[in-house]
């Protein structure tokens, strides 16, 4: 796959609408040509202990962050015409749809591919199919795991290798 946008969301709590950060990597002709990262004011606006343990973000990190529609305006032009790719599209796709619903935005029916599903077919004998494991198998060392932009970049690397 040569042209796509890899995307990753982190959430503040167990609600899919509570996206608190997003990372996007734009790949054209098999090369990373652009990236985007933003903190987002989550909805509902609270952090649970477990989510903070995963990604390290807290309320004070996003108290001055823009809301989802403002962030998405910036992303929409970057990803126009590109399929989206996520490592676990069930999660990231549900976050995207939930945020669109929450803010009563029209969802454009993005084409969404999943490197997690693909990795299970391509690498059936891996010990697990977590993002860092699959990235390593594809020759990429994921540092700063659970930072949305770092995870999106790892996903892009995997997608270039196996999709």
Q: Which of 122, 145, 150 is nearest to 25 (CA)?
A: 150
Return contacts of 119-124, CB within 8 angstroms, 24+ apart.
119/87, 119/158, 119/162, 122/162, 123/162
Percent of the chain residues past pLDDT 90, beyond the cut: 99
Model confidence pTM above 0.85: yes
SS3 152: helix
Digit-coded pLDDT (tens) for 82-125 = 999 999 999 999 999 999 999 999 999 999 999 999 999 999 99
């Amino acid at each position: 796959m040569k042209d796509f946008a890899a995307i990753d969301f982190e959430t503040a709590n167990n609600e899919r609408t509570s996206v608190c950060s997003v990372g996007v990597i734009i790949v054209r002709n098999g090369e990373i040509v652009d990236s985007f990262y933003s903190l987002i004011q989550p909805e509902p606006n609270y952090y649970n202990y477990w989510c903070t343990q995963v990604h390290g973000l807290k309320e004070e990190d996003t108290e001055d962050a823009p809301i989802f529609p403002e962030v998405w305006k910036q992303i929409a032009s970057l990803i126009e015409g590109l399929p989206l790719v996520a490592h676990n599209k069930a999660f990231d796709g549900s976050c995207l749809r939930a945020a669109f619903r929450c803010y009563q935005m029209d969802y454009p029916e993005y084409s969404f591919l999943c490197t997690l599903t693909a990795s299970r077919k391509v690498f059936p004998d891996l010990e697990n199919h977590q993002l860092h494991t699959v990235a390593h198998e594809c020759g990429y060392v994921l540092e700063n795991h659970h930072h949305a932009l770092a995870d999106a970049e790892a996903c892009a690397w995997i997608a270039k290798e196996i999709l």
